[in-house]
Structure 1
């Protein structure tokens, strides 16, 4: 077993000791080497439970946060998921082990290209990435069983909400009036999003409604 794999196992066990992971999510996280998704200068910190900078004022989320967001999706029995904010691609890579089809939208084209290359390196074939404003969603492949925001939002567009399947779950870090962020889960019933529950405070990069073509 390589040093990196031992570090990965310790990281996942550390997360599991703080936040009980389901067997499927634990297995998914053990299949994705986090060092591939962080800058080479940060490889020595890849398996710490920290968010790390990836350039362009963006961050790869803490693996602890990724694990929680993944659990909140309740992926059992689901086929497709749409992620808003691909970033490094780490969250999408985890989702690729749980969903047959993963669609991810990234508003910074340089990050999209880098994430796509990482997926090729890891032979992840079931993730599709689009360069766009995430609030537009990806109508061609809708409806989605699940939608996950990997950046904090002040609102969820009607256009995006319309692309969630009836009975589907949407998980998003939402900005409150005092600038505090909390993770909210919504369920779609009778064609409308209804708040399911609030999972506590969080800290994410803010979502922006424009694209950046670097």
Structure 2
């Protein structure tokens, strides 16, 4: 008898709502979702729901993480910069399809928890930084991909400067009261945009929280 795990059921549910590419599907099967869910929510880890974390933050729905990962077009990509580490789940997924993931978090306690989760899951290609992510991480630039895991009204110019030629930046952008997943392309030094679909993320905030 074939036993289907809760994680496999979750991935199947995602796939029904949003067709997953094989490499993205494989990543979701390899990362233990339950490990990244806050204490007390273990029994609903595999539901397609966003869940609350400390400091008024949220861990995104697995469906949302799947969409962001696939829209970022990460297959074969070497370096990704994530703005807003949060629980670490998005970075963990990216770590399965990219060689190196650089992730920045402005809330120190969240970052410490995420780092411990990476350690427990045996992930060693994620590099973390405690900082205001809107400044980016200049030392390791340029990045082939940059992902915002929080809603912005506009993208700081510093991040476009850190995006590699031919690269993609993906972000939830607030427009007329709505949040829209928006993909930015950098071609010959010029930035073009493409609106993809509505979404719901926490807003990006300035500064750091110890």
TM-score, with length taken from structure 1: 0.95
Residues in 2 aligned to 1:64 and 1:76: alpha-carbon distance in whole angstroms: 18
- What is the aligned length? 209
Q: CA deviation at 1:199?
A: 1.2
Structure 2 partner of 1:206: 203
1:194 offset after TM fit, Å? 1.2
Distance (Å, rounded) in 2 between the aligned partners of 1:193 and 1:46:
38
1:80 maps to 79
Task: State the shift of 1:198 in Å.
Answer: 1.2
CA distance in 2, matches of 1:14, 1:122: 23
* Match for residue 193 of structure 1 among 183, 187, 191: 191
CA drift at 1:30: 0.3
**TM superposition score normalised by structure 2:** 0.97
Contact 1:162 1:191 in 2 (8 A): no
Residue in 1 aligned with 2:127? 128
Cα distance in 2 for partners of 1:129, 1:192 equals 29
Whether the aligned pair in 1 keeps the contact of 2:78 and 2:100 (CA below 8 Å) is yes
Q: Helix, strand or coil for the counterpart of 1:30? A: helix
Shift of 1:191: 1.6
Q: What is the match of residue 172 of structure 2?
A: 173
Moved over 4 A (4+): none
Alpha-carbon distance in 2 for matches of 1:140, 1:200: 32
Ranges in structure 1 where 5+ consecutive residues have no aligned partner: none
Listed as ranges, the gaps of 5+ residues in structure 2 are: none
Write out per-residue CA displacement over residues 131-185 of structure 1, whole angstroms, 9 at most, x where no aligned residue: 1111110001100000000000011111111000001011100011x22100000
CA contact (8 A) 1:8 1:47 kept: yes
The corresponding residue for 1:55 is: 54
Compare 73-82 and 101-110 and name the one that shifted more: 73-82
Superposed, which structure 2 residues align to 1:1-214 within 5 Å? 6-176=5-175, 178-195=176-193, 197-213=194-210
